[in-house]
């Protein structure tokens, strides 16, 4: 069980007139958002995203929600609703649709466009249902209503889920920017109306719940970006999320003002901005956009908008920092990291900053200039929402434990009873009935790792082995013994990687291995497995005592 309640058993059978809610990702973490709602035998999925690996997960490309809970019930899924087009909300959809391709996908115009782009990589053509704010739609036993919310990507939606068990308002990711670039604000009037109608469960974005006040408006960063771009002596490279259309629009507008050409760098950036432009969410002035092949023709009057703001190894900016991208960063280039740090990515981002600085670039980031604002509501905005929605129950979502706990305390401070605030982790089962939400059990829910073409084959033990190999090295010991006498006839032959280059270092332990094997055989120990363990213990004791190291030890004992 991957949850903090080992005392919880499996949940009971779902009672009549009860709505069941199970998060399969996205709680106590920032990423892989996916929540399953169940009523009267039918399932509704909200979001299906990925989590990006941390330094202690070597070799892992992506982390998916755990589909185990619904794998035997795929036919019961009536639809997947996507709140917005960020990767931590849409990019696991292809892995789910591989298991049942005809699940309808509901979302706004831009969200579906970005999702279809991702699904083409899986060779999947989804069944899509486009919706917009103000609309309602019946999906099986669920009546859905869509509410406009403001976020760092256009066309984001909150969702109202109505069943006979009660009404749920799920904010998705949102903030309350009163001067958004696209003029589309969070529909607080509808939030207030829903509050008057009665909200039984309010599921609220927690990401900035521990930050006082209000999130800075997107417009506030324009003067800073303007100064940085205007003062740049050579090229400007802006790294951003490939879905942050608002930030890209700001950069394009400023580049145009300063008579600079713009080029998109990175496959996902090119794809997403092409879609956003086609659909009217991104406005590119005439004769402003150039291809990557034309960059050198325009000298220093170029602004490149690139992927890689989180230090992702294969993204364009990381490859520039490594010196293996066709675009070479040099002295007096300006690099702007126009994003916040996702927890766990700090080391990768600082490595990129250091390498770019070593090449002579000026690196501007959130730590030294206001070049990014968050897309999530801070504490003041959340308090406002609690006061107008007046929910009977609250369930903080989207955030680490510290964020969800802070969000819970905000709800309580506005009058929500403490016993009506549910903090759950992935796999914990919450039932809503008779205007009361409570934890009733838990289901197995772990991490599903994508490693190349492998999905779910990597275990925690595999990752532990990789960490040991990466940090402590590897020692193999091969010994050949006589099957009749037990005496060593060849070896011990020792090979090491990532531990020590001097082979003479192992002369001491070879003697110890010979003595240990002789003693074990004399004591009646036989069989290659038992003797291999003798070798492992002997080498482990020596390397731990003499060198304070714990490498992976692979003993091989062969009988002849």
Nearest to 152 by CA among 131, 133, 166, 173: 173
Taking the complete model, does pTM exceed 0.75, yes or no? yes
Return the structure tokens found at 525.
């120990």
Residue showing tokens 């990752």? 463
For the ranges 107-121, 178-192, 441-455, the lowest mean pLDDT is seen at: 441-455
Average pLDDT over residues 450-465: 57
Do domains 19-214+374-455 and 218-364 share one topology? The answer is: no
Residue 385 has pLDDT above 80, yes or no: yes
Average pLDDT over residues 136-154: 96
Residue 346 has pLDDT above 60, yes or no: yes
- Chain mean position to CA 13: 32
Residue 344 has pLDDT above 70, yes or no: no
Element (H, E) at 450: strand 448-451
pLDDT of residue 506: 72
* Most confident among 48-52, 449-453, 524-528 (mean pLDDT): 48-52
Element (H, E) at 510: helix 507-522
pLDDT of residue 313: 65
**Length, in residues, of the chain:** 560
pLDDT of residue 458: 57
Alpha helices in 83-216 (DSSP H): 87-90, 93-97, 109-120, 188-197
Residue 101 has pLDDT above 90, yes or no: yes
Residue 471 has pLDDT above 70, yes or no: no
For the ranges 116-120, 326-330, 463-467, the lowest mean pLDDT is seen at: 463-467
Per the CB < 8 A criterion, the answer to whether 220 and 213 are in contact is no
The superfamily (CATH) of domain 218-364 is Metallo-hydrolase/oxidoreductase (3.40.50.10710)
Average pLDDT over residues 129-158: 96
pLDDT of residue 320: 86
pLDDT band for 417, please (50, 70, 90 cuts).
Answer: very high
CA distance 287 to 300: 17
pLDDT band for 160, please (50, 70, 90 cuts).
Answer: very high
* Most confident among 109-118, 157-166, 302-311 (mean pLDDT): 157-166
pLDDT of residue 451: 63
Average pLDDT over residues 69-83: 96
Residue 459 has pLDDT above 70, yes or no: no
* Most confident among 94-108, 320-334, 347-361, 449-463 (mean pLDDT): 94-108
Residue 2 has pLDDT above 50, yes or no: no
Q: Which residues contact 470 (CB under 8 A, 6 or more apart)?
A: 58, 498
pLDDT band for 3, please (50, 70, 90 cuts).
Answer: very low
DSSP state of 29: B
Q: Is 403 exposed, middle or buried (0-12, 13-18, 19+ CB in 10 A)?
A: buried
Phi then psi for 144, rounded to 5 degrees?
-105, 140
Residue 475 has pLDDT above 70, yes or no: yes
pLDDT tens digit string along 425-442? 999 999 999 999 999 999
Residue 452 has pLDDT above 70, yes or no: no
The overall average pLDDT reported for the chain is 85
CA distance 197 to 188: 14
CA distances from 538 to 152, 477, 511, 528 (A): 57, 11, 10, 15
* Most confident among 384-393, 450-459, 548-557 (mean pLDDT): 384-393
Domain ranges of the chain: 19-214+374-455, 218-364, 473-559
Average pLDDT over residues 354-381: 86
Pairing of strands 128-130, 488-497: unpaired
CA distances from 184 to 148, 187, 251, 253, 310 (A): 8, 9, 19, 19, 27
Q: What is the CATH number of domain 19-214+374-455?
A: 3.60.15.10
Nearest to 208 by CA among 175, 244, 180, 159: 175
Share of the chain above pLDDT 70, in %: 85
pLDDT of residue 454: 53
Share of the chain above pLDDT 90, in %: 50
Residue 238 has pLDDT above 60, yes or no: yes
For the ranges 311-325, 356-370, 445-459, 476-490, the lowest mean pLDDT is seen at: 445-459
pLDDT band for 472, please (50, 70, 90 cuts).
Answer: low
Cα radius of gyration (the chain): 28
Residue 468 has pLDDT above 60, yes or no: no
Name 46's bridge partners.
35, 81
- Chain mean position to CA 320: 23
Per the CB < 8 A criterion, the answer to whether 557 and 481 are in contact is yes
Does the domain at 473-559 match CATH 3.10.20.580? Answer given as yes
pLDDT of residue 499: 60
Q: Sheet containing 488-497: give its strands across.
A: 488-497, 474-481, 552-559
Residue showing tokens 């434990």? 401
Residue 75 has pLDDT above 50, yes or no: yes
pLDDT band for 240, please (50, 70, 90 cuts).
Answer: confident
Return the structure tokens found at 302.
């170029």
CA distance 307 to 274: 14
DSSP letter for each residue of 33-95: -EEEEEETTEEEEE----B---TTSTT--EEE--THHHHTTGGGEEEEE-S---HHHHTTHHH
185 or 315, higher pLDDT:
185
Count Cβ atoms below 10 Å from residue 529 Cβ, excluding itself. 9
For the ranges 66-80, 259-273, 290-304, 391-405, the lowest mean pLDDT is seen at: 290-304
Nearest to 116 by CA among 164, 75, 82: 82
Average pLDDT over residues 136-147: 97
Q: Is 183 exposed, middle or buried (0-12, 13-18, 19+ CB in 10 A)?
A: exposed
For the ranges 114-118, 454-458, 518-522, 550-554, the lowest mean pLDDT is seen at: 454-458
Q: Which residues contact 507 (CB under 8 A, 6 or more apart)?
A: none
Per the CB < 8 A criterion, the answer to whether 320 and 307 are in contact is no
The b/e string for 28-49 (b: 16+ C-beta within 10 A; e otherwise) is bbbbbbbbbbbbeebbbbbbbb
């Amino acid at each position: 069980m991957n949850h903090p309640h080992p005392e919880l058993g499996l949940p009971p059978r779902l009672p009549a007139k009860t709505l069941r809610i199970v998060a399969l990702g996205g709680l106590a973490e920032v990423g892989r958002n996916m929540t399953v709602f169940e009523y009267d035998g039918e399932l509704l999925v909200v979001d299906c995203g990925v989590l990006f690996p941390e330094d202690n997960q070597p070799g892992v490309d992506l982390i998916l929600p755990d589909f185990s809970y619904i794998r035997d019930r795929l036919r019961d899924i009536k639809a997947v609703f996507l709140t917005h087009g960020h990767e931590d909300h849409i990019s696991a959809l292809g892995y789910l649709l591989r298991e049942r391709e005809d699940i309808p996908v509901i979302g706004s115009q831009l969200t579906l466009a970005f999702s279809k782009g991702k699904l083409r990589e899986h060779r999947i053509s989804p069944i899509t249902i486009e919706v917009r704010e103000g609309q309602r739609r019946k999906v099986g036993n669920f009546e859905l209503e869509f509410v406009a919310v403001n976020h760092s990507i256009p066309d984001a939606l909150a969702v109202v889920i109505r069943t006979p068990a009660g009404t749920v308002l799920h904010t998705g990711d949102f903030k309350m920017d009163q001067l958004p670039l696209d003029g589309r604000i969070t529909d607080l009037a509808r939030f207030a109306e829903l509050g008057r109608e009665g909200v039984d469960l309010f599921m609220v974005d927690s990401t900035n719940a521990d930050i006082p006040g209000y999130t800075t408006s997107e417009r506030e960063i324009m003067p800073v970006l303007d100064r940085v771009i205007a003062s740049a002596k050579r090229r400007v490279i802006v790294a951003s999320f490939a879905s942050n259309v608002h930030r890209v629009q700001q950069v394009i507008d400023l580049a145009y003002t300063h008579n600079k050409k713009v080029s998109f760098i990175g496959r996902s950036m090119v794809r997403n901005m092409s879609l956003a432009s086609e659909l009217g969410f991104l406005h590119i002035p005439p004769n402003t956009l150039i291809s990557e092949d034309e960059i050198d023709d325009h000298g220093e009057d170029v602004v490149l908008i690139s992927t890689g703001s989180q230090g992702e190894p294969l993204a364009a900016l990381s490859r520039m920092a490594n010196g293996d991208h066709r675009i070479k960063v040099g002295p007096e280039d300006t690099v702007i990291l126009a994003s916040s740090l996702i927890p766990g990515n700090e080391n990768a981002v600082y490595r990129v900053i250091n390498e770019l600085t070593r090449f002579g670039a000026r690196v501007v980031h959130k730590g030294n200039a206001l070049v990014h604002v968050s897309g999530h509501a801070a504490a003041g905005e959340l308090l406002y929402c609690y006061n107008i929605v007046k929910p009977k129950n609250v369930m903080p979502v989207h955030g680490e434990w510290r964020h969800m706990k802070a969000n819970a305390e905000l709800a309580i401070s506005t009058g929500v009873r403490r016993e009506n605030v549910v903090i759950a982790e992935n796999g914990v089962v919450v039932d809503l009935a008779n205007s009361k939400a409570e934890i009733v059990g838990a289901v197995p829910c772990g991490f599903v790792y994508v490693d190349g073409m492998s999905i779910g084959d990597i275990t925690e033990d595999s990752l532990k082995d990789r960490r040991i190999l990466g940090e402590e090295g590897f020692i193999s010991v091969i010994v050949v013994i006589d099957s009749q006498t037990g005496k060593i006839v060849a070896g011990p032959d020792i090979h090491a990687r990532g531990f020590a280059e001097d082979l003479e270092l192992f002369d001491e332990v070879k003697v110890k291995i010979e003595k240990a094997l002789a003693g074990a055989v004399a004591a009646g120990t036989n069989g290659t497995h038992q003797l291999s363990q003798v070798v492992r213990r002997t080498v482990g004791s020596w390397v731990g005592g003499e060198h304070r190291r714990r490498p992976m030890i692979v003993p091989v004992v062969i009988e002849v």
